[in-house]
Amino acid sequence: MLDTPHASDAARLQRVRGRAHVVMGARGLKDLYQQGSAKAMLPKVHSAVPEVVFLNTSGGLTAGDRLEYRLEVEANGALIGTTQTAERAYASVAGGADAEVSVSLHAGAGARLDWLPQETILFETARLTRRTTAQIAGDARFLFSEMVVLGRAAMGETIETLHLSDRREIHRAGRLEFIEPLEIDAGLLALRDNPALLAGARAIATVGLFAPGAEALADLVKPIQHEGVTAGVSGWNGKLVIRAMAPDGYPLRRYVAQVLKTIRQADLPRVWQM
């Protein structure tokens, strides 16, 4: 009979380690590197814009795991980055370290970069620290989306204890344009029904477009609605930011998909449609 691992055994448990990066030039792929459980795939697409699909072959994250993704599109290039499926952060051993995910994004002069990962699902006692940093040129166009789901409503899960530290930074022409730190822990979850916090939602999302004239798209996005989803749209100084929440991940995903299609005026990556 196998013994259940204790906190003292955490250091001996196998951990996920993975790094993957892709550099795309205006005329095609310039560099691809992958190591460990992090993979980068370039599927055949009908669009003129190439896609990179990142995959964590371990099937999920838990205490002490480390993943690094890096995506770069050089001057006048275009690239779409996404993930093959939802990322899952599972229960962590008591006293274990956070799982850590680092995402580094770069867009050169006149480039277009879309970072559209699928949702992150957090399970009871999960611990995840994620840092996403984008460095874009002054005339680059950068679009991102990020969705977080607290447990699976269809399975009757109600998350009471976890720790999420999720930080996004966007620098345009070397200047900090946008910063969004998010912290969710047991204390916040105990107040989940507070309208100033989660207002009872278990799924939240942020979508952002950073490009000259991005604010003009606010009037196209504001009319978009989906049952059960509450959203706010802001546009100013070359920025368009949408924040949304829902009682479950499915209606939120459908809302975000419609927003992204409206902004991009194009279909989403194929993995989103599976």
Count of CB atoms situated within 10 Å of the CB of 223: 8
- Nearest of 183, 155, 186 to residue 168 by alpha carbon: 183
- Nearest of 157, 164, 158 to residue 185 by alpha carbon: 164
- What pTM value is reported for the model? 0.92
Query: Is it the case that residue 12 has pLDDT exceeding 60?
Result: no
Q: Tell me the residue type at 121.
A: I
DSSP sequence for 150-171 = ES-GGGT----S-EEEEEEEEE
**pLDDT tens digit string along 103-127?**
999 999 999 999 999 999 999 999 9
Rounded distance between C-alpha atoms, residue 199 and residue 223, angstroms: 22
* Strand positions, DSSP E, the chain: 17-25, 28-36, 38-41, 51-56, 66-73, 78-83, 87-89, 99-107, 112-115, 120-122, 127-136, 141-150, 163-172, 175-184, 203-210, 230-236, 239-246
Q: Report helix, strand or coil for 262.
A: helix
Query: Is it the case that residue 4 has pLDDT exceeding 70?
Result: no
**pLDDT tens digit string along 29-49?**
999 999 999 999 999 998 889
Rounded distance between C-alpha atoms, residue 38 and residue 17, angstroms: 8
Q: Report helix, strand or coil for 266.
A: coil
Residue 143, strand partner residues:
114, 209
Across 154-158, 224-228, 245-249, least confident range: 154-158
